[in-house]
Each structure stands twice: as C-alpha cells, then as structure tokens.
C-alpha cells in the first residue's frame, strides 16, 4: 500500500511539474505578443535566448516519466496519465519553439508596416493564447467540457488565418512590401500551428479520461 501511495504521489508531482511548464510557456507567449505590439526587439532576443530553459523542462519530464514507467510498470489509467504527460510536454515544447520562430520573424518587421494586418495577427494570437490556457486548465482539472471548447476556437483561428493569407496576397502593387508580407504570412502560420498544439493538449485530456483518441480539429 505504501508503495502504491508513493507512486501516486509521484504521479501528482509529474502533473504539477507539467502545469508549471505550461505556466512558463504561457508567460513566454504573453511576452511575445507584448514585444510584437511594441516592436521590442530586445525582448524578442531574450525570448530566443531563453528557449533552452523550456527545452530542459521537456527533457526532464521525459526522463522522469520514462523512469516511472520502467520502475513501476503501471497499467490502465496510470499508464495513460504518464503517456499523456509525455505528449503534453512535447506539445508545450513545440509551442515554445513556434514562439521563438515568431520572435525571429517579428524582428524583421518594420514598425507600423502593414499595420492593419499586424492587428489581425494580434487577434489570431490572442485566441491561440486563450486556447492554450483553456487546454491547460482542462488538463489541470481533467475537465472534458473545457477540453471540448477548444474545437470552436481552433476553427476561428483557421478562419482568421485563411482571411489573412487571402488579403495579404491580393494587395495592390502600391501597397506591396514583399519582405513584410512574407514575415506576416510566416507569423500567421506559426500562430495557426500553436492553436493546433493547444488542440492536441485538449485531445490528450479526453484520451486520459476515456482511453480513446478524439479529433477536435
């Protein structure tokens, strides 16, 4: 019984560390949108420089989970929790990588260049932020209803991304700044991918509860 209690304590610790990792990624997301809105390249450089910290968190999570599986040989529900921890940590690390990609592209943007489209980017990004927060909250509370809310939000990001691309590439000649259009298109794509990874996390919540894969896209 004591061994079992110890194992569940370790499971709880893994979940808490994963939530802490999620909080760190949320903080970086917030820093990125603020630096984008203010054209703060120094903050963008800081985001790029510190990305290794989140990579280390993901590697540490992988090592802990692998060790627990090998030592405890969990079955059924407990094994699913550990598999989900691995998957969610991987998705969070990829979100962090995409934020770095956004920072790199944003550094090439001119201040107030194609401002209307920058506003659209911020609108997309804000929804993606909300999606990540919602999916992590669903994971924290094992809340299926919360997880299922992600689908509609992902559809909205996809819609905005499609509109952004269509509008960018139908600009009149006098409005065209090819390099700036390219940066915005890349940034939009990265935000759309962040939304996809937030959706993945919500899907893993459903899998943890039901043991079945459910496509929210």
Distance of CA 74 to the CA centre of its chain: 28
Q: Is the pLDDT of residue 93 over 80?
A: yes
Query: What would the mean pLDDT of 71-76 be, rounded to a whole number?
Result: 80
Distance of CA 164 to the CA centre of its chain: 20
Question: What are the E-state strand segments in 36-192?
Answer: none
pLDDT single digits (tens) 133-184: 999 999 999 999 999 999 999 999 999 999 999 998 888 665 567 888 889 9
Picking from 213, 195, 189, 211, the residue whose alpha carbon sits closest to that of residue 203 is 213
Is residue 142 domain-resident?
yes
Distance between CA atoms of 217 and 215, rounded to whole angstroms? 6
CATH code for the domain of 189: 1.20.58.220
Query: What would the mean pLDDT of 95-117 be, rounded to a whole number?
Result: 92
Place of tokens 């691309």: 165
130 is written with which tokens? Answer: 């909300």
* pLDDT band at 97; cut points 50, 70, 90: very high
Q: Is the pLDDT of residue 5 over 70?
A: no
The reply to whether the predicted model has a pTM over 0.85 is yes
Is residue 216 domain-resident?
no
**Domain that includes residue 114, residue range:** 2-210
Q: Is the pLDDT of residue 27 over 80?
A: yes
**Contacts for 78 with CB less than 8 Å, ≥ 6 apart:** 7, 11, 72
Is residue 48 domain-resident?
yes
Distance between CA atoms of 89 and 191, rounded to whole angstroms? 18
Is residue 215 domain-resident?
no
Count of the separate structural domains present in the chain: 1
Q: What is the predicted pLDDT for the residue at 2?
A: 54
12 is written with which tokens? Answer: 């709880």
pLDDT single digits (tens) 202-215: 999 999 988 888 78
* pLDDT band at 99; cut points 50, 70, 90: very high
Is residue 98 domain-resident?
yes
Distance of CA 141 to the CA centre of its chain: 18
């Amino acid at each position: 019984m004591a061994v079992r209690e110890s194992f569940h304590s370790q499971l709880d610790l893994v979940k808490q560390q994963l939530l802490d990792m999620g909080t760190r990624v949320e903080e970086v997301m917030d820093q990125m949108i603020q630096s984008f809105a203010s054209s703060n390249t120094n903050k963008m450089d800081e985001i790029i420089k510190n990305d290794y910290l989140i990579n280390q968190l993901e590697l540490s999570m992988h090592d802990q989970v692998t060790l627990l599986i090998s030592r405890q040989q969990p079955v059924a529900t407990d094994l699913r929790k550990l598999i989900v921890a691995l998957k969610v940590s991987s998705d969070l690390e990829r979100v962090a990588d995409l934020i770095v990609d956004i920072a790199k592209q944003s550094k090439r943007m001119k201040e107030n260049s194609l401002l209307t489209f920058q506003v659209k980017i911020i609108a997309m990004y804000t929804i993606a932020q909300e999606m990540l927060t919602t999916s992590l909250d669903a994971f924290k509370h094992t809340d299926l209803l919360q997880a299922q809310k992600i689908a509609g939000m992902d559809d909205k990001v996809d819609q905005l991304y499609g509109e952004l691309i269509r509008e960018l590439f139908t600009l009149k000649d006098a409005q065209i700044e090819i390099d700036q259009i390219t940066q915005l298109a890349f940034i939009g794509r990265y935000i759309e991918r962040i939304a996809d990874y937030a959706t993945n996390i919500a899907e893993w919540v459903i899998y943890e509860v039901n043991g079945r894969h459910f496509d929210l896209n």
